[in-house]
Each structure stands twice: as C-alpha cells, then as structure tokens.
C-alpha cells in the first residue's frame, strides 16, 4: 500500500514561503480591494462578496507579524475554508498574499513535522525545496477561538444589513 500523497498550495508573504493543504483552498482570486469594516481586528482589511457570500479578508503579513502586504499585480486573495473550533461548521475567509507560487505534492517522509511547543503554533511542518523552506500551515490553528468568533460575527452582521 502506497503512502498518501499530500498536495500544498504555496504562497509568499514578505520573504517567507508558506504552504496550505489544497483541501482547504476554495479558490484563488485576483486581488480586489475589500470593503473596509470599522472597528474590526487589526489584520482584517475588509470584506469581499464572493459567490454571494460575505468573506472577511485578512492581511496575512499583519497576521503573521511580518509587515503589511503591499498590493502589486501579483497580490492575490486565497479563499480558504476552515473548520470552526466548536465543530459547528465551516468558515470561509480570504487570505491576502503577496503572490501565489505553485502546488507541490510530497509524501509524508519529506515533510518535517514541527514539535508542538514551537511558536507560532499554526506552523505545523516544513518542506525544503531547492530554492527555499516552505512553512506548512495548519489552517485551523492560524486563528484562535476568539478570532473565529469575531470573524464569524463580522460576516453575520454584514449579511444581516
């Protein structure tokens, strides 16, 4: 029986390269300026209307503490679907990134798991390419419970308008 192959979408944020399992990726959108939302979390740039759904957009540079994303022709919004921590469903979010790189597949032996005490906890593993080190994200760990509640309430309040 062969090992299960995992596929990851890679993207850049500042000088860092991150990867997220393709099972979490809904779509990659060309950058559109989000509608701003007053008094939201500092890393939320606003919301977009995606397939008749309100989607909060986060600045991954601010969220990952590497500086604000500067909008360029390569800037994209990666639409992700993450599980809510209370198992009450899914939350769709948009992650603004400097650029999408590619998709790579790897067997589990080439992906190096990071110990649980590593901070930030949302980086679960690494993968070394010829060019750089890819930090593999655990999409469900990027946001804490309080963040998920705030993002969900933001989405709900705008949809109710």
Please compute the mean of the pLDDT values over residues 91-96 and round it to a whole number: 93
Domain count, the chain: 1
Q: Decide if pLDDT at 14 tops 70.
A: yes
How far is it, in rounded angstroms, from Cα 64 to Cα 104?
22
Question: Is the residue at 1 inside a domain?
Answer: no
Find the domain containing 76 and state its range: 6-160
Q: Using one digit for the tens of pLDDT, what is the confidence trace for 98-152?
A: 999 989 887 767 788 877 666 677 888 888 877 788 998 888 888 877 788 788 8
Q: Is residue 55 part of a domain?
A: yes
pTM, entire model: 0.86
pLDDT tens-place string over residues 27-86: 999 999 999 888 888 999 999 998 888 899 999 999 999 999 999 999 999 999 988 777
Domain harbouring 30, CATH code: 2.40.50.180
């Amino acid at each position: 029986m062969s090992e299960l192959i995992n596929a990851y979408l890679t993207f850049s944020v500042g000088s860092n390269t991150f990867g997220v399992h393709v099972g979490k990726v809904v779509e990659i959108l060309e950058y559109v300026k989000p509608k701003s939302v007053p008094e939201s979390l500092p890393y939320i740039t606003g919301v977009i209307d995606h397939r008749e759904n309100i989607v909060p957009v986060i600045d991954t540079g601010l969220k990952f503490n590497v500086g604000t994303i500067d909008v360029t022709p390569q800037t994209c919004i990666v639409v992700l679907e993450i599980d809510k921590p209370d198992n009450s469903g899914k939350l769709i979010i948009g992650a603004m990134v400097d650029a999408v790189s590619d998709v790579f597949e790897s067997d589990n032996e080439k992906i190096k798991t990071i110990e649980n005490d590593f901070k930030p906890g949302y980086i679960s593993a690494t993968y070394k390419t010829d060019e750089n080190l890819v930090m593999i994200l655990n999409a469900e760990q990027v946001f804490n419970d309080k963040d998920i509640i705030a993002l969900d309430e933001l989405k709900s309040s705008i949809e109710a308008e």
